[in-house]
């Protein structure tokens, strides 16, 4: 019986070490990912462009549940899940590298990056403490300096803008927006897509 217990501990430990982790942060080629270890959800977005005056763009949202080193993801343009949904796979190569493969391209992506030809490799460039990446579902959503209606800032976002969420406290989410400059502050949770 003692040998069986030792064997089970070794087997469980081996399985645990085989499970790779995914890190939240900025990856190359304009990919941002967030992993919530308590829910096992991965969210993110890819937004890249090419051509004169960035004429061609490839933009899609990513969501999935991490269940092993390779798992299914859903990708779609924000606020257009029913019309633009493409299910693909994400593979965790190691703690700083992932691959994304889609069976077909999102509109505009064939000019920027081909996800349907072969898996696209992404390397982590800057780790972050994001728990979720969301997009704005309202026409306009303001930042607040504090979790207080009276602390509204001048900065606001518009529908389909992406934010990186560091924490959620009741009806407030502390977010970063990556535009021409980084804007940080509290946004109302009801203004964000719900997973």
Q: Are 62 and 46 in contact (CB under 8 A)?
A: yes
Question: Is the sign of the CA dihedral 68, 74, 75, 79 positive or negative?
Answer: negative
- Domain contains 2: no
What's residue 110's pLDDT?
84
Is the pLDDT score of 2 beyond 60? no
Give the pairing of strands 162-169 and 172-178. antiparallel
Q: Give the model confidence (pLDDT) of 18-71 as tens digits.
A: 568 899 999 998 999 999 999 999 999 999 988 777 678 999 999 999 999 999
**In the beta sheet, which residues pair with residue 177?**
183
Residue 40 CB partners (closer than 8 Å, separation 6+): 65, 66, 67
Tell me if residue 171 falls in helix, strand or coil.
coil
What's residue 178's pLDDT?
94
Average pLDDT, the chain: 89
Gap between the Cα atoms of 163 and 132, Å rounded? 9
Q: Give the model confidence (pLDDT) of 79-109 as tens digits.
A: 889 889 999 999 999 989 999 999 999 988 8
Is the pLDDT score of 1 beyond 50? yes
Domain that holds residue 50: 25-127
What's residue 3's pLDDT?
54
Q: Are 164 and 133 in contact (CB under 8 A)?
A: yes
Rounded to an integer, the average pLDDT of 109-125 is 93
Number of domains the chain contains = 2
Same domain, 112 and 142: no
Gap between the Cα atoms of 192 and 117, Å rounded? 33
- Domain contains 163: yes
- Domain contains 32: yes
Same domain, 180 and 97: no
For 131, the token pair is: 């728990």
Could you say which of 127, 147, 181 is where a domain stops? 127
Could you say which of 127, 156, 173 is where a domain stops? 127
Least confident of 48-52, 69-73, 120-124, 162-166: 48-52
Bigger pLDDT: 51 or 194?
194
CATH of the domain at 164: 2.30.30
Could you say which of 127, 143, 161 is where a domain stops? 127
For 180, the token pair is: 């021409």
What's residue 14's pLDDT?
41
């Amino acid at each position: 019986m003692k040998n069986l217990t030792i064997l089970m501990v070794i087997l469980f430990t081996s399985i645990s070490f085989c499970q790779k982790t995914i890190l939240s942060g900025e990856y190359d080629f304009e990919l941002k990912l967030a992993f919530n270890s308590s829910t096992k959800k991965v969210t993110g977005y890819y937004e890249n462009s090419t051509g004169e005056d960035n004429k061609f763009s490839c933009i899609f949202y990513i969501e999935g549940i991490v269940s092993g080193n390779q798992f299914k993801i859903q990708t779609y343009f924000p606020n257009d899940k029913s019309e633009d949904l493409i299910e693909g796979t994400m593979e965790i190569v190691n703690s700083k590298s992932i691959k994304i493969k889609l069976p077909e391209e999102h509109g505009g992506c064939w000019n920027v990056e081909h996800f349907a030809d072969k898996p696209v490799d992404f390397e982590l460039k800057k780790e972050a403490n994001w728990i979720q990446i969301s997009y704005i579902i309202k026409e306009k959503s303001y930042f607040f300096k504090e979790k207080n209606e009276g602390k509204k800032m001048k900065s606001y976002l518009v529908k389909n803008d992406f934010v990186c969420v560091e924490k959620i406290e009741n009806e407030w989410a502390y977010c970063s927006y990556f535009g021409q400059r980084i804007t940080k502050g509290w946004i109302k949770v009801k203004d964000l897509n719900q997973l």
